[in-house]
Amino acid sequence: MRYAVISDVHSNLEALTAFLTKADRAGYDRIVCLGDIVGYNANPNECIELLREREALCVMGNHDSRAAGLEDESAFNFHAALAIQWTRGALKEENREFLGNLPRALQVNRKFLAVHGWVNDTDLYILGPRDAAENFKLMKDARTRVCFFGHTHVPAVFTEVEGGAELVDGEQVRLLKGASYLINPGSIGQPRDRDPRLSFVIYDTKKSQVKYYRVEYDISATAGKILAAGLPDRLAERLKLGW
């Protein structure tokens, strides 16, 4: 199976469409979305509906839970909270229900675990080896050796080493038999690694290989929609800088 794994779409229709075009060309069997379909940008309904049309397997992100009304946005920064309030008002009821019914973790065909933040907490960030080491412990409880996560908007692959964790470099990573991995595909809708191109991976389970893809999209169109919707200018500007 070839899984196109994405995260943090954040209502960015232009980026999601560009991803689908590239993924279609590369070839895949199923899309897996690691949460935060909505937030920040101006096309929440369209992004949800496009992923539903593609029968993507999705988990709930922290922005998704707030947009669905399951939790409040008091812990969010000012701009993120404004965007969630706008999103909540823009969502169709059926799409709000869809977000609210998403699982917070998903075992995909006994091949890997899909989560948004930590294995056991949607809101926590895996920011480095120390966080990764804690999540490798949680993965043992979940009886899985491969876990895909999002939330940071930064591509990363961690492997377990002697009870700790270390980063693995490369645009293409071979997953060794018996080893454990935490893999972040980066963000579709709001990259934060100073590269404005959207990021995703294709996980080929037959080859035990993860390959990263970076794709340009129409940032100006997305930014224009943010401004037209009355969302904060900063949300439009940061897309151009990849942060």
Confidence of residue 236 (pLDDT cuts 50, 70, 90): very high
pLDDT band, residue 218 (cuts 50/70/90): very high
3-state secondary structure of 73: coil
Per-residue confidence (pLDDT) for residue 139, from 0 to 100: 97
Structure confidence at residue 217 (pLDDT): 98
Q: pLDDT tens-digit profile of 80-107? A: 999 999 999 999 999 999 999 999 999 9
Closest CA to 15 of 225, 234, 231, 232: 225
pLDDT of residue 221: 98
Q: Give the model's pLDDT for residue 71.
A: 97
Beta-carbon-side half-sphere exposure of residue 92 (alpha carbons within 13 Å): 10
pTM: 0.97
Contact 200, 6 (CB under 8 A): yes
Per-residue confidence band for 163, with pLDDT thresholds at 50, 70 and 90? confident
Task: Give the CATH fold of the 2-241 domain.
Answer: Purple Acid Phosphatase; chain A, domain 2 (3.60.21)
- Residue 47 — very low, low, confident or very high, per pLDDT cuts 50/70/90? very high
pLDDT of residue 61: 98
Phi, psi of 7 (to 5 degrees): -155, 160
User: Helix or strand or coil: residue 224?
Assistant: helix
Domain locations in the chain as residue ranges: 2-241
As a whole number, the mean pLDDT across the chain is: 98
